[in-house]
Amino acid sequence: MKQKQYIIKDYGVKKEVKEIMLTNSFGMELYLQFKKIKSKNNKTNIDNIIKIMLPAGEEEALEILQNGYIDEIGKKFLPLATTTGFMKKEELSESIIARKDGVCEYLFIAEEDKEFVDLFNNVVSCGKIQEKLNKDTMQINKDIISRISLAFSTTNKISYYWKDKVAILPETTYKYAKEYVTLDKEALKDGQIELNEPEEISVEHTAFDGFGLASPEFCDMLSEKYGYKIDYFGLRMYPTATKGLCVRFPFVKYFEDNFKEKNDVFWKDENGDFYTLDRWGDKVNISKCSLILNETQCKWAKWYGSMDEIYNAIDREEYKTYKDLFYSVYIARVNKKELEEYTRMNYQLLNVTNLTIDEMEQLTSYDKEMYESMISKKDRNIDRIKIFMGDMSKGDDEGLRASTKVQYLMQQNDRFYKTKFAKETVARNLEKYINELSSGKFHVKGNYKTLACCPITYCQWIMSRKPTTEIKEGIQKMQFYVSNEYGKRVLARNPLASFHEPQKINLIEHGSLKKYLGVDYSTEIIFFNMQDDTAKLLSGADFDLDEGFCIDNEIIYNSIIPTIPFLNTDDGATGAEMLFTWDNMYQSILVSSGNIIGKIASLTAKINTYNQDLGFIRTSDSKVLTGRELYNKMMDKKREHYEILFKDDFESITNNKEAIKKYSEELNKPDVSKERKEVCYTMLRASNSKISAIYENIKDIKWNDFLEILSKFIEDGKLIDVRELPEEEIKKYLNKRFNENAKYIYYALYLNQKAIDAVKTLNPVSKEEIELLKECFIEYKKDKDGNILMIEQKDKDGNIKTDKSGQPKMIKAVLVNHVKNYPYFMKFTKEYVSDYKVEDINRSALTINAKRIEESVLARIHYIEENLSDNNSAVMESLKPSKEKADSMVKAKISSVYNRYKFDGKVSKNTKDKNKLNERWNSFDEYSVKELAEFESPDFIEDKAIALKELNVSSKFAIRVCFDVLKHYLDLENNDVYSYEKSKEKTDIEFMHRYFIKNQDTCKDNNLHENFIHDVKIKNGTEFKLRVGSYKGITITNEMYVKNKHLYRKVDNIELGFIFNDCYEKLNLIDGQVLKVIESNIAKNGKSVTLIVA
């Protein structure tokens, strides 16, 4: 189903504005009805709803929430709603030290539509919000904000009269006892992070949390809407604030087959219908139900006394207009039509395993081989390149599309792979994926599955209400079920912080599940037992659309670290209640907003990488030391030696810093001549270069000294290099590392849960609590008596900082910060690999493997980008003019443009600044388009072809500037063109674990050359791109005019459609302005059109 979208403005803290899309939701459907907007388009412009980022200062943010927001033109907006997702957003400053400028995004509505705020709150809750306002005490964020959030979550609305077809059952729990470790809270009070001894603890778990059942008939109705079989869906419903997962299951059939005898909670009447008791203790005919839900899904059910009260509320006269909104289901997500068998791995999971260097090489070897085959010097795999570039069969009659010039050329003839232009383009596109391979994104057998509960256990519970641990018919403890999949798996859920979270599981065969689910059931669902603690260990998963990465790989399975799991005894802390008022709501939102969870996650990832460091074992006491720890300790011991050795170097550095200060101050003087400025800049460059060279030389000397000492220690048996140990010993070493440092990760998990619970408790994680974790990984310098050394604090220029009394500020002298320089998954990309070069001193299997990929595949990519010579034969062979001589003016112009091209190319080789490079080539494009404008007619194709051949231009020049000429002759060649279609059988064409067959196809015509010219003119401001919505197929004439943000034909005043806001404001359009249409491009769906105008 196509998702409706709404275009609104999004304001940053400093009122910088951009356009964003809100997707369809209950809230937006209600607003359209309120405004009587009947849009048949997938995109609708909404002027009176905006999203803003609130300032980080609580007083300033509260002022905006209480008194409104004024936009850049003085229009006033009032607060409408925020969501739990919006509350986690932050805006950071762009300064060197990023400062938090904004916290929490919020939807605001124009003052002229202020009636909608009360209408929304009334309709979404059938008046319950207004009823409780200023009267009831509650957990405001949990009971109001989290539930209102649902009304703005992305959904597809499907009208469905669900009265008497829904059952809301009570919540139920079960207990499971197991050995856990917990945080020592008494030690924590004293600023120490320690764990209690492991003990068996019985924990209460919520069964069927967020999980429900849907009848096959209901799912078939959805299947008709989506065009394929739907086996699960995410559900939103109102006014019960329903959020959860429902799976296809023939529960009536199951009851018929398995019902034995009547009891107090389940029985069969004389008509053969089954009845049970709902959450209010009322009987409900479950045989007539399409959906079986429970109160963990229906968050506001507690505000009503029965299902009848809900129906009566909906049927009240004041909500008659909105009855269709209530009697609809809002579908948040459904299973995919087909699930990929292989998925790219994520760094978070790799970061908590005991994978070795050899194992990482094995895991990445397949992807590495695929990429290498596409950039090898000989026998380059053309089929894989074409698949990578997107030459896939579209299953229609339009032919093969080309989005770029290179793609078109490669479709036409394989000879174009020889051109520098093609090789560079493929290499550039591949570079991103190879960088991601460095960061651990390799393909692995497995996929993301939606977590669900055993439906047989649920049906048995409905019939008996026995504890789920006593139900034997469903999936039992430590068992899991996926249709047609069996055996050992690793299951992990993001976000993932601790090594105890990934779970080894076993997928079983289950005759009853297979019978009732069928053999064609979606493999995107994994059914859990309701008897153990697996869901809790998976980052506290529930069953309201949570996903888990289910991996079928022996190496990864055997790399999960054994441990006693952690139990956070504060999980699910009681929420803080207060009187529900608007001001209290705003205060609750601001107190619990921000992305503290993200900060904790980056810390845990650094700690995990520290744990994975394959360092050294000191034989005297078996103490483990990383390379960085050894280096810092050795350098500290030789500090006095280096002070003497580098005395002259440090004096030179000081002198050069003084010179830099002197010339910088001179440059700031107002009367400095241009010639003197040049001298100053030259001296600054020389001094900076000298300082860099000295530091580099010092670093090299220290590093070589360290390697010499290290080698001697290893040779003498004082240290054991972990990398040289047998594989099994390395794994044992890593297991020990993680378990020894478990208390730090578990403390981080405790902070993470506290941050999550802050929405309820209004007790956020403090800066001091995070600093305590950081402090544990800092080792300070000590004197001979064991006292921490204090040193003077200096600024970036080396000046000593002083306090108010003029005394030097003193800080602890850091010997080594064990995690400061370790990468974490957000940084473990091209920037880390290329800029930091993955120091030899940082020796985790992941970083070593990244370095290996950098030195092989990435190095080849960079070589291609930097050193390929041009081969223009493929281009020259294609140009076959019938004329013998070119028009002299055409040749002269092309010669002039080509000379400029060659000059810019030479200058660019010495330019590293990307912005300057872009400016230079944009300027060249503008020049070339202007110079050759008079020869754009097809009449000059032959002349341009002759000129290109006589000048023997490079392939890059011909493709960039005269692509229309090349395309003309290639179209005449009538080449065979092929597209690729996925095959379920193995074939000779393989790419990333998928197989393909090659089919003859046609090449769809393109306007790539024309688009290039338009893009150049748009950049220089002689042409403009205008997007128009609500297009209804009206013929587009040469001249249009603007009126009330809409576009009309000048010839007869017929409306074409509305102008998208971003275009209207960017082009500063005004009423009455006439635009000349140069080109038009109607969208594939026919609902909008893009015009090139002047």
d(CA 321, CA 315): 10
- The yes-or-no verdict on residue 202 having pLDDT over 90 is yes
Predicted confidence band at 792 (pLDDT cuts at 50, 70, 90)? confident
- The yes-or-no verdict on residue 18 having pLDDT over 60 is yes
Instruction: Tell me the mean pLDDT in the region 562-584.
Output: 89
Give pLDDT, residue 808: 81
Q: Which two tokens stand for residue 66?
A: 């209480």
Instruction: Tell me the mean pLDDT in the region 822-829.
Output: 44
d(CA 296, CA 266): 21
Q: Does the bond joining 216 to the residue before it have cis omega, within 30 degrees of 0?
A: no
d(CA 520, CA 923): 59
The full set of domains in the chain, from first to last, is: 5-152 (no CATH), 347-440+869-1001 (no CATH), 443-557 (2.40.40), 778-817 (no CATH), 1023-1093 (no CATH)
Give pLDDT, residue 1: 67
Q: Is 1050 exposed, middle or buried (0-12, 13-18, 19+ CB in 10 A)?
A: middle
Q: Which two tokens stand for residue 326?
A: 């209530």
CA atoms within 13 A on the CB side of 983: 14
What angle do helix axes 767-775 and 596-611 make, rounded to 10 degrees?
Answer: 10
d(CA 340, CA 957): 41
Give pLDDT, residue 404: 77
Identify any residues that bridge with 817 across adjacent strands, giving them in sequence order. Answer: 778
d(CA 196, CA 600): 22
d(CA 655, CA 436): 44
Locus of tokens 């989005």:
403
CA dihedral over 511, 513, 514, 515, signed as positive or negative: positive
- The yes-or-no verdict on residue 546 having pLDDT over 80 is yes
User: CB under 8 Å, gap of 24 or more: what pairs does 978-983 form?
Assistant: 978/386, 978/391, 979/391, 979/392, 979/393, 979/394, 979/400, 980/383, 980/386, 980/387, 980/391, 980/392, 980/393, 981/392, 981/393
Q: What is the mean pLDDT of the chain?
A: 89
Angle at 186 between CA 184 and CA 189, to 5 degrees: 115
- For 778-865, strand residue ranges (E) read 778-780, 790-792, 810-812, 814-817
Give pLDDT, residue 573: 65
Predicted confidence band at 820 (pLDDT cuts at 50, 70, 90)? low
pLDDT tens digits, one per residue of 896-930: 999 999 999 888 887 878 888 888 888 999 999 89
pLDDT tens digits, one per residue of 512-526: 999 999 999 999 999
pLDDT tens digits, one per residue of 1016-1052: 767 767 778 888 888 888 889 989 999 988 999 998 8
Strands 291-294 and 166-169: parallel
Q: Which two tokens stand for residue 671?
A: 């009367």
Instruction: Tell me the mean pLDDT in the region 179-208.
Output: 95
Q: Is 188 exposed, middle or buried (0-12, 13-18, 19+ CB in 10 A)?
A: middle
Give pLDDT, residue 838: 39
d(CA 255, CA 286): 10
CA dihedral over 532, 537, 540, 544, signed as positive or negative: negative
d(CA 1048, CA 1039): 9
- 1085 within 8 A of 1071, measured Cβ to Cβ: no
Give pLDDT, residue 976: 82
pLDDT tens digits, one per residue of 76-105: 999 999 998 899 898 876 654 456 789 999
pLDDT tens digits, one per residue of 649-707: 999 999 999 999 999 999 888 888 989 989 999 999 999 999 999 998 998 899 899 99
pLDDT tens digits, one per residue of 1045-1089: 899 999 888 999 888 877 887 788 888 889 998 888 887 767 788
Predicted confidence band at 572 (pLDDT cuts at 50, 70, 90)? low
Locus of tokens 């068992």:
479
Q: How far is CA 358 from the centre of its chain?
A: 29
Predicted confidence band at 782 (pLDDT cuts at 50, 70, 90)? confident
Q: Is 662 exposed, middle or buried (0-12, 13-18, 19+ CB in 10 A)?
A: middle
Q: Which two tokens stand for residue 202?
A: 């019985």
Predicted confidence band at 647 (pLDDT cuts at 50, 70, 90)? very high
Q: Bigger pLDDT: 360 or 626?
A: 360
Locus of tokens 């003498």:
716
- 792 within 8 A of 810, measured Cβ to Cβ: yes
Angle at 482 between CA 479 and CA 486, to 5 degrees: 70
Give pLDDT, residue 812: 80
- 617 within 8 A of 720, measured Cβ to Cβ: yes
Largest CA distance in the chain: 104
- 608 within 8 A of 839, measured Cβ to Cβ: no
Helix (H, G, I), strand (E, B) or coil at 864: helix
Give pLDDT, residue 361: 96
- For 322-393, strand residue ranges (E) read 328-334, 342-344
Plot region of 1086 (φ>0 → left; ψ -120 to 50 → alpha; else → beta): left
CA gyration radius, the chain: 34
Identify any residues that bridge with 245 across adjacent strands, giving them in sequence order. Answer: 211, 234
Report which secondary-structure segment, H or E, holds 846: helix 845-853
Q: What is the dihedral of CA 696, 697, 702, 708, to 10 degrees?
A: 120
Instruction: Name residue 968's amino acid.
Output: H
> Of 1026, 1006, 1009, which is closest to residue 1018 (Cα–Cα)?
1026
Q: For residue 1053, what is the DSSP state?
A: -
Give pLDDT, residue 708: 93
Predicted confidence band at 391 (pLDDT cuts at 50, 70, 90)? low
Predicted confidence band at 567 (pLDDT cuts at 50, 70, 90)? very high
- 139 within 8 A of 762, measured Cβ to Cβ: no
- 852 within 8 A of 364, measured Cβ to Cβ: no
> Of 798, 539, 824, 794, which is closest to residue 658 (Cα–Cα)?
798
Identify any residues that bridge with 247 across adjacent strands, giving them in sequence order. Answer: 213, 232
- The yes-or-no verdict on residue 785 having pLDDT over 80 is no
d(CA 1047, CA 202): 68
Q: Bigger pLDDT: 862 or 367?
A: 367
pLDDT tens digits, one per residue of 678-694: 999 999 999 999 999 99
Which of 43-52, 444-453, 800-809 bottoms out in mean pLDDT, i.e. has the lowest?
Answer: 800-809
Q: Does the bond joining 808 to the residue before it have cis omega, within 30 degrees of 0?
A: no
Instruction: Name residue 13's amino acid.
Output: V
- Per cent of the chain over pLDDT 70 is 93
Q: How far is CA 867 from the centre of its chain?
A: 34
Give pLDDT, residue 837: 38
d(CA 853, CA 845): 12
Instruction: Tell me the mean pLDDT in the region 811-830.
Output: 58
Cβ-based neighbours of 118, under 8 Å, separated by 6 or more = 130
Cα separations in angstroms, 229 against 222, 289, 448, 1057? 8, 20, 19, 37
> Of 764, 759, 765, which is closest to residue 147 (Cα–Cα)?
759
